[in-house]
Amino acid sequence: MHRSTITRRGLVAMGGVAATGLLAGCDILESVLPERDETPEISDHPGTEEIPAEPEPEPEPTLAERTLEKMTLEQKVAQLFCVTPEKLTGASVATVAGSMTAEALGRIPVGGLIYFAQNLTGAQQVRDLLSGTDELCRAAGAGIPPFLGVDEEGGTLVARVAKSGLFDVPTFPNMAEIGATGDPARAAEVGTSIGTYLRDIGFNLDFAPDADVLTNPNNTAIGVRSFGSDPELVASMVSAEVEAMLETGTLPCVKHFPGHGDTAGDSHTGAVYAERSREEIESCEFAPFRAAIEAGCPFVMVGHIETPNFAADGLPASLSQVMITDVLRGELGFTGVIITDSFSMGAITQNFGPADAAVRFFQAGGDMLLMPEDLNAAYQGVLDAVNAGTITKERIDESVLRVLTAKEQAGILA
């Protein structure tokens, strides 16, 4: 989040008094007034002369900026991927951070990992898995720690940790019930509790809260995960949860931009569409995302949602320059990390190859790609695009700096 400083200059006008010489012929006046010395005076006080202002010193580079300067292109591109431990290592189920993880990180030192129920088998096992992965990531490449993420929205549907039964942590009803109270303090309680126990276990990124406005009551993909159908209510709930979670040190990620609440389909299985007009989407679906951005949310997840009456480019938002750069960056002013929804979903895999999808996302202005169907192909595809000039090195640097800045914000970059 960047602020610009506006300075004001005051202008000082200097004036003098001129004699008109109307009494120049008067003897009395001549006897009183001394002769005028035309020699210019030299000041005995040089400090009163106008001295050019010294330019303000350049600000010291941030830790994120200093880290970026030391990285190779390969390390930079790797930072832009967040994957499951299985996709990283090739293991069928990953529950430990061992030699396979170390070897894989030596090849592609990814920027983050996301964990699901199959990765959580014991309380100490989860802590060891996360701390071990963190150590191996720091030992690989440029020594950069990873995002360690999980889907922990709360409620009965998406709560990997709370539903595991491995930890004595608070549980919550579905967010629809939280929203029905009309009290943002309840959403703040969710953010504080979830953020606290995730951080204690070893996670640092939560793919929550859900910022979708449930405008289609037949929407089963979102349903009770949403705080409700009133955009202002959802905005207040999302803002409260984001602020509270940030206070715990866990980074929240709002989802699924530009809004999954009106869709009838499920992007897990194929393309989905939001048929609403631009005016409807801007006034309704965008309200919670605006509130989250204003609350300082460092991540926004872009969904695989086509908007034929808005972007009208025939692309899911996760590949759309209109939605990512023009709208989310430009219109909404978001300066944090734009991450995709899973690129293993049918909405992507049925229409785009792994390399093609990855290249399109970064060309559109996105920052971090979540769960590519084939990590090796996607990673190599982006490297090839940079070397061919279809993605500039500057475009990569912009995204890597946002990723590193978020890690610095979380206090994990050292």
Distance from C-alpha of 343 to C-alpha of 348, rounded to nearest angstrom: 6
Distance from C-alpha of 212 to C-alpha of 302, rounded to nearest angstrom: 12
Which residues make Cβ contacts (< 8 Å) with residue 339, sequence separation at least 6?
82, 253, 299, 300, 301, 302, 366, 367, 368, 369, 370
Active site residue 183: no
- Find the catalytic residue in 268, 313, 356, 397: 268
- Find the catalytic residue in 206, 212, 262, 341: 341
Which residues make Cβ contacts (< 8 Å) with residue 121, sequence separation at least 6?
95, 166
- Whether 266 and 272 have beta carbons less than 8 Å apart is answered as yes
Q: How far is CA 148 from CA 28, 362, 413, in A?
A: 95, 22, 13
Active site residue 260: no
Q: How far is C-alpha 87 from the chain's CA centre?
A: 23
Q: How far is CA 381 from CA 198, 200, 323, 367, 402, in A?
A: 34, 37, 23, 15, 21
Mode of pairing for the β-strands spanning 81-83 and 337-340: unpaired
Secondary structure (3-state) at 223: helix
Mode of pairing for the β-strands spanning 205-206 and 299-302: unpaired
- Residue whose token pair is 């802590």: 127
Distance from C-alpha of 299 to C-alpha of 214, rounded to nearest angstrom: 21
Give strand pairing partners of 150: 115, 206
Q: Rounded to 5, what percent of the chain is helix, strand, coil?
A: 45, 10, 45
Give the H/E segment covering residue 407: helix 393-409
Q: How far is CA 249 from CA 81, 108, 211, 213, 400, in A?
A: 22, 27, 20, 26, 21
Greatest Cα-to-Cα distance within the chain, rounded to the nearest angstrom: 114
List, by residue number, the catalytic residues: 268, 341
